[in-house]
Structure 1
């Protein structure tokens, strides 16, 4: 939790005021039994009406001032907790945004979602509880004991016995509960993972008739979480009955011995009532304090988990070189590039070398798992090559700043992602200052114009989360439009036309041909018709380059390419 203390520094004053007002509330609360004792002994027993009125007014004042102090404390603690949560969540989000794809693969998306939501919420709740109860509960417990001794030292010895017994019980329950709380959070990660997989893969699950099997797996994961939560609940549930037994035993001893002393004239009835009230205070505060400890233990567990993510250093480091706007994107050179994913023994691509110059369209084709996407993902540094170097305009891409490399390369990823908001908002993600004319041009080049004309508001049309209100082909074209709108000198289309019909894809290829003189295009596809007219084609097989050349050259020299061509021609998959 030390890592997150600086996040509380801007709220230092509120962090001081919240517990101070809670202490003020507790002080007034401790005075109430003394006023009640005076009301009983002097007012009621002594028949002093004036004392009754004064005591009643005093009780009202103590309650009103105490309530005002409590509300003020709650306000300060809630503000601190909310601001703290917002700051931590923002910092965590920024850190995750700077992680590489390999970092995210290693941590797991479901884990990161849990850290951003459940764990940060747990930390927020913990901060709120600390500010409200860390000082108040011990102050009430020890204050009530001291006030009890002030009332009557002889009977108040039972307070000491009760406190010792309660601390032993509370300590044991907390000692057992804290490790269990950590295990509950781990089980929660599993449930989150299963939930995410089932939601994102719903179509695949239905297509392969795996609904029952996946439901069973989810229920098993949820059942394990439930069992762990029930076990923690059972352990914690011992607290209330055991505490009540100890407190009620103490109260019985106080009432019995107090009664004997009242009969013998050693105590007043009001003093016995005051002792009873102080014992009740201890009961209430200890129950609160145990819940406080459990909540804080959850907070520390969550803080460790969030800190573990924030301590992950990004795999990628960037230089400070900027791209020259006039000459940017003249060439991309791969020199003996190999790349192995962490945790994998075999390289995804091995010893790849080629050069692409401005004005060229480079097609990349190969079977599933041949390394096509890995190859193009190295250019914008989504992943880092393990061997060799990639140069843009003669400069190693590792020397460029992050802003420069992102400006040089525009990517349409394999999985089409649209965000909630308007179509215009989505298209402007790569370049917010784009003019309406250039935006319309990007829409036209990507073959999105026809279906957007049918949408209400056109570019102002609202996109549902994930682009659910568009077909697969429409989502692909909008993602391509976003890529074109960025106007980067290097454009990567990673299997971006797989959902398009042949006529639309043909028009898209013609649009790319009209743009290519000022750019370098990398087009990844499994459909040979998408890349056969490229200036050069790279054929990938099992991570190696099986051939590089034009369509005609590869038909003569590359067996892998010929096989792909013939299989797709036979299946009529090549566009005419």
Structure 2
């Protein structure tokens, strides 16, 4: 409930109106039976037409107030519940934006999607019900019981004896439903994960003809979710008949006792009619209150899952030290850097040291798993170093404002990710203020201009979800154009030329060399031909630097580099070098 109360504070005015509308609704529901009782016992019995007319007019006024109260109650409930759900989704999304890869892996992408959508929806539904009943039902219960006791104490004892049985039943249902709700939400996480994996990996699944296997995997989890849902729904649906049966038994008992009282002349007929209305509202309010308690376990599970996201703090803390000034000359320094993943035991990078200055191109090469991509991800602080330090323009990246740091970096990831939208929007993603001329120029440098112009919509051609309507090489070139339009100080290419043919690769590197006169360029590559012209090549092997120098120097001094080059270049090219 803490989470709901925190968000409810944002809607104080609407909540006050909600409470006012509740009293208007209660006035009608409990006032009209009282007036009718007077009309029967005094107006009808005494044949007083004037009294009946006056009471009829009062009933019409109260009914009008009730209609207004009901409309206002519905609007306030909808306004608050949907507003809270909106705020929760917004806060969860913003919080996730601050997460590092470690927190993403800990909670899981599929689970984050479920928490943002389904869990927020569960809280919205719960709030919609509780806002209608949290204030209304206590008022209706208290006032109804007061009126029943005032009307007939003997008949009231029958109702009072029934309430504890209903409350005990609600507590039992709540305890049983809570673990089922937890299992249901966890199962929904798994369904989202499997479905997401199936959609993103559909080509791999089809190429290996594993459609039936994936269908079976999904069906297994779907059946599990169905079983948990059936248990929950059966439990909830079984409570209503039991509660209504208890209420009907109490009403029958009331009629039996009332018949003797009327026969004895101790209970007027009008009071009995009013009493039954009071009983109905009292019992129905109790059932509504029970409904809230039965919904609570499921909403509580969702609230806990959302609270976990909101309370999770990123291991990447942003505490900029503004006293440390950057040097005018652009530079990157790795000073004895060691890194191990938060959930890992062994360091994947050990004692890495190198420097890169303004206008220099530094390349990284090594076998798969040598730590190349991990190394460059430390610069924009996707992870923080375990030991040592990384200096950008003379300042430790941990002392810089993280947003300022990333503003200065044009990053092209190993997996080229494009977003739904036009080609222009995807390129402009790197710089929202970029002019169309800058977008076109970046596309030309990235060797993307020609294939863009061949598209029917050219720069307004839409990229579908998952970028399925462009090839791997086209994705990479658009990703490079997106980084170029940023006009950054540091450009990082994480194996961003792997899908390009040798001709396009050569043309792209030639244009980049013309463009990058003062910027620092860091390139991770598998192809020797891509990095031969780099000012400095760093060779990694099992997380350690085993070679450092130019292409020609490394061929002579580094066995690992010579082995990689020999596997890709001809003997003539090696001899020539």
CA contact (8 A) 1:178 1:294 kept: no
Q: What residue number does 2:446 align with? A: 446
Q: 1:9 to 1:244 in 2, by over 3 A?
A: closer
Partner of 2:461: 461
What are the within-5 Å matches in structure 2 for residues 131-530 of structure 1? 131-318=131-318, 319-321=320-322, 327=328, 330-530=330-530
The unaligned stretches of length 5 or more in structure 2 are none
Q: Distance in 1 between matches of 2:254 and 2:5?
A: 44
d(CA) in 1 for partners of 2:88, 2:196: 24
1:30, distance to aligned residue in structure 2 (A): 1.2
- Confirm or deny: 8 A CA contact 2:370 2:543 kept in the other structure: yes
CA contact (8 A) 1:111 1:193 kept: yes
Partners of 1:220 and 1:273 lie apart in 2 by 56
Question: Could you tell me the TM-score, scaled by structure 2's length?
Answer: 0.92
Instruction: After TM superposition, give the deviation of residue 106 of structure 1 in Å.
Output: 2.1
Over 3 Å counting, the alpha-carbon distance change for 1:4 and 1:361 in structure 2 is farther
Asked if the contact 1:390–1:397 (Cα under 8 Å) also holds between the matched residues in 2, the reply is: yes
8 Å Cα contact 1:339/1:348 also seen in 2: yes
Maintained 8 Å contact 1:129/1:296: no
Q: Note if contact 2:325-2:395 (Cα within 8 Å) is conserved in structure 1.
A: no
Contact 1:85 1:124 in 2 (8 A): yes
CA contact (8 A) 2:493 2:522 kept: yes
Deviation at 1:136, TM superposition (A): 0.8
Moved more, 319-328 or 71-80: 319-328
Could you say what secondary structure the match of 1:154 adopts?
helix
Kept in 2, the 8 Å contact 1:331–1:393? The answer is yes
For 2:175 and 2:278, how far apart are their aligned partners in 1?
27
Q: Distance in 2 between matches of 1:83 and 1:236?
A: 27
Moved more, 272-281 or 112-121: 272-281
Alpha carbons of structure 1 residues 21 and 443: separation in structure 2 relative to 1, 3 Å: same
* CA distance 1:172–1:564, shift in 2 (3 Å): same
Shift of 1:79: 1.8
CA RMSD of the aligned region, Å?
2.7
Deviation at 1:280, TM superposition (A): 2.5
Pairs aligned (count)? 572
Range with bigger deviation, 267-276 or 20-29: 267-276
Which position in structure 2 is the counterpart of 1:22? 22
- Contact residue 110 and residue 192 of structure 2 kept, 8 A: yes
Query: In the alignment, which residue of structure 2 is the partner of 1:73?
Result: 73
Which whole-Å CA distance do the structure 2 matches of 1:321 and 1:439 have between them?
Answer: 33
Deviates more, 1:380-389 or 1:10-19: 10-19
Q: Cα deviation per residue 1:88-136 (whole Å; 9 max; x = unaligned)?
A: 3222222221222222222221222222222222233333333221111
After superposition, the C-alpha distances for 1:528-567 in whole angstroms (9 at most, x for unaligned) are: 3322332222222222223222222222233322332333
Q: Secondary structure of the equivalent of 1:156?
A: helix
User: 1:362-392: per-residue Cα shift (whole Å, max 9, x none)?
Assistant: 2222232221110110111111111111112
Q: Which sits farther off after the overlay, 395-404 or 207-216? A: 207-216
Q: Which moved more, 1:467-476 or 1:385-394?
A: 467-476
- Whether contact under 8 Å (1:364, 1:372) holds in the other structure is yes
> Do the aligned partners of 2:133 and 2:289 also contact (CA within 8 Å) in 1?
yes
Q: Offset of 1:486 from its aligned partner?
A: 0.5
Cα distance between partner residues in 1 of 2:194 and 2:385: 32
- Would the alpha carbon gap of residues 530 and 264 (structure 1) be closer, same or farther in structure 2, given more than 3 Å must change? same
- The 5 Å alignment of 1:22-61 reads 22-41=22-41, 57-61=57-61
CA distance in 1 between counterparts of 2:105 and 2:404 reads: 25
Instruction: Identify if the C-alpha distance between structure 1 residues 368 and 396 changes in structure 2 by more than 3 Å, giving closer, same or farther.
Output: same
Rate the CA distance shift 1:570–1:255 in 2: closer, same or farther, 3 A. farther
Q: Is 2:125 the partner of 1:125? A: yes
For the structure 1 residues 260 and 394, does the alpha-carbon distance in structure 2 shift closer, same or farther, using more than 3 Å as the test? same
Secondary structure at 2:155 match in 1:
coil
Offset, 1:485: 0.5
1:466–1:325: structure 2 CA closer, same or farther, 3 Å change rule? farther
CA contact (8 A) 1:98 1:314 kept: yes
**Aligned-partner Cα distance in 2 for 1:507–1:59:** 87
Cα separation, partners in 2 of 1:45 and 1:500, compared to 1, 3 Å: farther
